Amino acid sequence: MTEHTHRNERFDDPHLESLLPAIPTSRRGFLAGGAGAGFALAAGPLAAQTAIQTPADGLTIAEPRIAVEGGEMPAYLAAPEGRDRRPAVIVIPEIFGMHAYQKDICRRLARLGYTALTLDPYFRFGDLSRLTEVREVVAQANRLDDPRMLADLDAVIDYVAGHPRVDRRRVAITGMCRGGRTVWKAMAHSKRLKAGVSWYGGLNPMPPVMPRTPLDVAAGLNGPVLGLYGSADAGIPVARVAEMQEVLKTGTPAARASRFILYRDMPHAFHADYRTSYRREAAEDGWQQMLGWFRTHGVA
């Protein structure tokens, strides 16, 4: 076990399961409370802006609309000025959909040399960022079934890979909360993504429109995933993370290359700088871990 001595300790696998007391798991229990519980506990009202404000000067900003079945998906793209092709990162939003937080993340990445794009996966159901009741947000987001979500993602990858500012050989994906779940699913679905980083992506059984969990697909990953999770996440117990780690050990080379970093005492959404769950030290460390992961796997 590797221990890191900054105040918010993190623990890298391969001995994740021994770090904290095991928490009993059952599919029935997760079906009852896992679909939105951890998110609901962490979520508060959406702030008008993020705590971190990244300027757009020196960047090219665009708001394309990507053709998907049933409409055009709103998106937001940030890239360094110039004409050269850059590595790209697709940023999948939380359950609230696309808002200021994801756009700022794109600008942060663009200032580091990436072309970054985020999107609104739930656009068919309205602007979820404007809803005030968490239960309504969850109910609307749960209408997006996995086949449609993955088909939309294929269209997004097509758009990014074909963009004149993108090197299609170097495309990665990251996402938070429900978007982190999408990262696991995407890396098992697509062979065009080189690496993924999942920030506290849900691992639990979900509503019937999302019947297969990340645990069900993890052994078949096409590219390596780094999972950044908190040990105090009310919706994703450590035992479930440990179970996921065991599945990865049985899979493809990419699955076996995947790993977790568990941040002791960190809640769900510890990177979300517009919410009370934000924990700066862990968020900043996770950000550096993400960038290092991309570099290690050729997306830099």
- Active-site annotation, residues: 177, 233, 268
3-state secondary structure 55-124: CCCCEEEECCEEEECCEEEEEEEEEECCCCCEEEEEEECCCCCCCHHHHHHHHHHHCCCCEEEEECCCHH
CA 236 remoteness from chain centre: 14
CB 193, CB 223: distance < 8 Å: yes
CB 216 within 8 A of CB 185: no
- How far is the CA of 31 from the CAs of 37, 162, 215, 223, in angstroms? 10, 39, 14, 28
Alpha helical stretches, state H, 52-191: 100-110, 134-141, 146-161, 178-189
Position of tokens 């076996």?
256
Q: What is the DSSP letter of 16?
A: G
